[in-house]
Amino acid sequence: MEDVLELYEEPHDPKKPVVCFDEMPVQLIEETRVPQPVAPGKAARYDYEYRRNGTANLFIGFEPKAGRRYVDATDSRTKLDFAAQMKRLADERYPEAERIRVVMDNLNTHKSASLYEAYAPAEARCEAPSRKGLAKTRGRRILRRLEFRYTPKHASWLNQAEIEFSVLSSQCLDRRIPDKETLEGELAAWEAERNEAGATVEWRFTNEKARVKLSRLYPATS
């Protein structure tokens, strides 16, 4: 716990961003009848019948100190999906960062082994082949630029990505979304609006407060 809280207390460093990472499923639900829109004196009406179109998985990466997040919809949440997210984090989201500290829960797919399974060892850990025109800061590959910080068991609430998922659910997913294509459009619009506003989380639970409220978990000191 202290390890994660210490990260949250550090000042923002673009070279060493702290990114909270999480995932959750979302149902794809299609209307069977056209809803009646809002009219003077009448609320919008939706039929109780609907059609289930399966589920999608959402990955979110949230950097609280920068007020920045991204959301991707995938068909599954396997080791390969996680590895692809980490590769995108290093290569596309933060190509100039020296080290990316990733806060996440200890799910069985959230391991370094997932990247070795998805990519050849040279791609997963070693130096990338040099190319003219690429920024010099794009040298080291995936795992050497990532630092995994896990929340304790039964303490996933320490992951600020869960708060961002709660906002996403209330602002974007509180309606019937019929398919993945529509979902991706809704997510992109929500992500752009939140990033443009620089929306973030005002995290107040510090190590000092943890030692008071969770004193039973800390050893007694003289």
Domain boundaries, the chain: 2-32+49-128+136-217
Structure-token pair, residue 161: 């990505």
Superfamily for domain range 2-32+49-128+136-217? Ribonuclease H-like superfamily/Ribonuclease H (3.30.420.10)
Confidence at residue 198, expressed as pLDDT on a 0 to 100 scale: 96
Mean pLDDT on 49-57: 88
Task: Give tens-digit pLDDT for 172-190.
Answer: 999 889 999 999 999 999 9
Task: Give tens-digit pLDDT for 17-34.
Answer: 999 999 999 999 987 666
Distances (CA, A) of 9 to 153, 154, 163, 196: 21, 22, 17, 24
Mean pLDDT on 40-54: 75
Q: Residues 6 or more apart from 112 whose CB is under 8 A from it?
A: 143, 148
Q: Residues 6 or more apart from 104 whose CB is under 8 A from it?
A: 20, 21, 22, 110, 148, 149, 150, 151, 159, 161
Whole-number Å distance between alpha carbons of 69 and 192: 9
Q: How confident is the model at residue 111 (pLDDT cuts 50, 70, 90)?
A: very high
Q: Given the structure tokens 């998985």, which residue do they identify?
A: 57
Task: Give tens-digit pLDDT for 61-108.
Answer: 999 999 999 999 999 999 999 999 999 999 999 999 999 999 999 999
CA angle 114, 119, 120 (to 5 degrees): 120
Task: Give tens-digit pLDDT for 122-160.
Answer: 677 654 444 443 333 333 478 999 999 999 988 899 999
